[in-house]
DNA sequence: TTGTACGCGTTATCAA
DNA sequence: TTGATAACGCGTACAA
């Protein structure tokens, strides 16, 4: 392992001169500098990240923490994060699982973007108190060192509900997510508000968990009731896919008796027949925004929380009912 | 930032005693140790990764390098890597893009698992020469510090071809991948061998690039020729999906005139109608094996290259032709 | 138990 | 000006 010491010896200068030369400081003449650079190259010198980090108290690495690695879901999100960070000379690493939490307090990374339910609010606040910089994508957390970049869940849920209502559905099912996730709670708040505004509607809430299985279960419940045309809002696309599967297994086609709207517009939905109506938002933008905000708080700027806007994708999974 | 120095001061002992106590060394009495631990906890002490790493010359972090973050493909693979590493006290970080390459030579990570075409063979050999530990999943690379854990691509391609031939197909199309990827080259070698053994078959090779678009293009070519029943082997599932899409847009149903086999068994395939016949292998096992091999070479063991076995999933995308 | 050298680079201070 | 000396960041581990 060649270090600046080796270069210094070979060049006949001190290690500080080597360091200055490698960092392009004007404190060394261009001749000395050129000579040092040449030797460094010849020796295949590569600086030691730990040493630099120890002295500079920064790693220029940002960690993105995810609940798990599954999911076609994260591709664009991570790409958005990475491109912004790389442009500013930072690297992105992606982590998952309890064990990896240590990277933040041990100062291996300069900041973290959290979309990871394995962090509790208390844990994150503790890190924030220690001065670590955070951006959260999956919860509301108020702390000067924490910025929020959240989906406009309520607007999305409103769009979905209004779409079903506007296409003439009078009997509605809503398949919720886990009560302990921010996204599900927010979406349900908007759902309930919509239902309060429409007392004429018949609505049933089915508890789901954001996984395909609970979508299948919801399908079973809905089909067994067999009460005629109904509109279903699954609080995420994955459950909607489960519902497609269950319906297919029973010979029922989505978009006929049952209208269905999802949330997230994951890549998979485009392969469903008929296409799934859903709530769309730019995952790339979400990731890019998260990185931008994080770099700002690392830079000491005061920043406001940000919101990612959503839109409705209409599709044939929703059938227009004749007004009755 | 509280360091062992602060703890030492508070406890009235030396920093070395603190270090020993924190590391559970028997060199300190249990009373002193207990006192030190208590103070450390009270001060919310967390060790500095850079300092430890600088001294110990290891980070206990392994990097997985991917060509990009897209792809439902990587979930189980990364999960397999992570679980093995975590059990052995290592953390996994996932990286992508040229900029992140530095993490390896700068010794931020103790080893790397490569499934990333942005690394050239030369670059990897250079790292291996410097003593960095590598496992490659996407190429053959012979070096004492490099282990290979490769898919049995040839066996998979053979299974796919034999399936099409065995179900009575006499006209075959093969949609290749990029010529510069290991997987495509290996699969094509097996394809050509199979074709050599069956001179009675009519076979056409269509160049693809492993993306959906080239599957659509292949679909266009095949349907325009319109030469009756044919068997198609797409060298990966993503192109097969493109072919489904194109066929659907032309009102052609896969599994009737056209039989189709893919490769990879990505999650998406189960949503296709009819289900796609494809080559399956355990992504989890692949990742787990990669981690195990990496830990072995880090531990100084001599290890042989490993192979991940594959199997055929039969499905209705392949139609049995009557023997003629 | 403790003092201290060490890992490796950065940078302030000081000398030529 | 140009460059060297040395302190420093923080934890580890050997010698005393």
Q: What is the pLDDT of residues B268-316, one digit of tens each?
A: 887 788 899 999 999 999 999 999 999 999 999 999 999 999 999 999 9
At B175, phi and psi to the nearest 5? -100, 110
Which nucleotide's C1' is closest to B52 (Cα)?
D11
Residues of chain B with pLDDT > 90, as a percent, come to 85
pLDDT at A71: 65
User: How many CB atoms neighbour CB A168 within 10 A?
Assistant: 16
Contact A49 B106 (CB under 8 A): yes
At A115, phi and psi to the nearest 5? -140, 65
pLDDT at B179: 92
* pLDDT averaged over every residue in chain A: 93
Contact A50 B48 (CB under 8 A): no
Judge whether residue B101 has pLDDT over 70.
yes
Where in chain B do CATH 1.10.260.40 domains reside?
4-47
Contact A50 B69 (CB under 8 A): no
Bases of strand D lying below 7 A from some protein CB: 1-6, 8-15
- Asked if B312 and B163 count as a contact pair (C-beta separation under 8 A), the reply is yes
Please tell me whether any atom of strand D lies within 7 Å of the Cβ of A30. no
In CATH, what number does B153-280 get?
Answer: 3.40.50.2300
What's the residue count for chain B? 324
Contact A92 B93 (CB under 8 A): no
Please tell me whether any atom of strand D lies within 7 Å of the Cβ of A50. no
At B82, phi and psi to the nearest 5? -60, -45
Q: Which residues of B touch A99 (CB under 8 A)?
A: 86, 91
Enter the pTM of the model: 0.94
Residues A236, A173: Cα–Cα separation, whole Å: 14
Per-residue pLDDT of B196-236, as tens digits, reads 999 999 999 999 999 999 999 999 999 998 888 999 999 99
In CATH, what number does B4-47 get?
Answer: 1.10.260.40
Is some CB atom of chain B closer than 8 A to the CB atom of A46? yes
Widest CA span of chain B, in angstroms? 92
Facing residue for B91 by CB, picked from A47, A69, A99 = A99
**Range A109-123 average pLDDT:** 96
Helix (H, G, I), strand (E, B) or coil at A307: strand
Per-residue pLDDT of B234-262, as tens digits, reads 999 999 999 998 998 898 999 999 999 99
Where in chain B do CATH 3.40.50.2300 domains reside?
58-151+283-309, 153-280
Higher pLDDT, A69 or B324: A69
Facing residues of B111 across strands?
A: B62
Contact A92 B100 (CB under 8 A): yes
B54: its two tokens: 């600088």
pLDDT at A323: 54
Distance in Å, residue A16 CA to nucleotide C14 C1': 14
Judge whether residue B71 has pLDDT over 70.
no
- Name the A residues in 133-152 with CB < 8 Å from any B CB: none
CATH label, B58-151+283-309, candidates 3.40.190.10, 3.40.50.800, 3.40.50.2300, 3.40.50.300: 3.40.50.2300
Residues A77, A289: Cα–Cα separation, whole Å: 10
Q: What is the distance in angstroms between the Cα of A1 and the nearest Cα belonging to chain B?
A: 8
Higher pLDDT, B71 or A324: B71
* Residue to substitute from B44, B61, B63, B69, interface A, most A β-carbons within 10 A: B69
């Amino acid at each position: 392992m060649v270090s600046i010491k080796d270069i210094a010896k070979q060049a006949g200068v001190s290690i500080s001169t080597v360091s200055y030369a490698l960092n392009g400081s004007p404190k060394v003449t261009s001749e000395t500098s050129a000579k040092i650079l040449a030797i460094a190259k010849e020796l295949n010198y590569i600086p030691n990240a730990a040493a630099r980090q120890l002295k500079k108290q920064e790693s220029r690495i940002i960690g993105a923490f995810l609940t798990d690695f599954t999911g076609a879901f994260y591709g664009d999100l991570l790409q958005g994060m990475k491109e912004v960070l790389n442009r500013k000379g930072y690297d992105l690493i992606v982590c998952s699982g309890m064990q990896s939490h240590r990277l933040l307090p041990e100062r291996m990374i300069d900041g973290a973007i959290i979309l990871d339910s394995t962090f509790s609010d208390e844990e994150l606040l503790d890190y924030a108190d220690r001065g670590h910089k955070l951006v959260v994508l999956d919860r509301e957390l108020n702390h000067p060192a924490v910025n929020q970049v959240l989906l406009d869940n309520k607007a999305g849920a409103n769009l979905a509900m209004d779409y079903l209502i506007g296409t003439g559905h009078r009997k509605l099912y809503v398949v919720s997510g886990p009560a302990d996730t921010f996204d599900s709670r927010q979406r349900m708040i908007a759902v309930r508000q919509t239902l309060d505004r429409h007392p004429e509607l018949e609505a049933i809430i089915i508890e789901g968990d954001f996984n395909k299985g609970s979508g299948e279960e919801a399908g079973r419940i809905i089909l067994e009731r067999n009460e005629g045309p109904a509109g279903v809002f699954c609080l995420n696309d994955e459950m909607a896919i489960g519902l497609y599967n269950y319906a297919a297994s029973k010979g029922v086609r989505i978009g006929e008796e049952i209208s269905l709207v999802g949330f997230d517009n994951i890549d998979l939905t485009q392969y469903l027949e008929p296409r799934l109506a859903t709530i769309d938002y730019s995952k790339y933008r979400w990731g890019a925004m998260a990185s931008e905000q994080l770099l700002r708080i690392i830079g000491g700027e005061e920043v406001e929380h940000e919101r990612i806007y959503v839109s409705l994708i209409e599709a044939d999974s929703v059938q227009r009912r004749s007004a009755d």
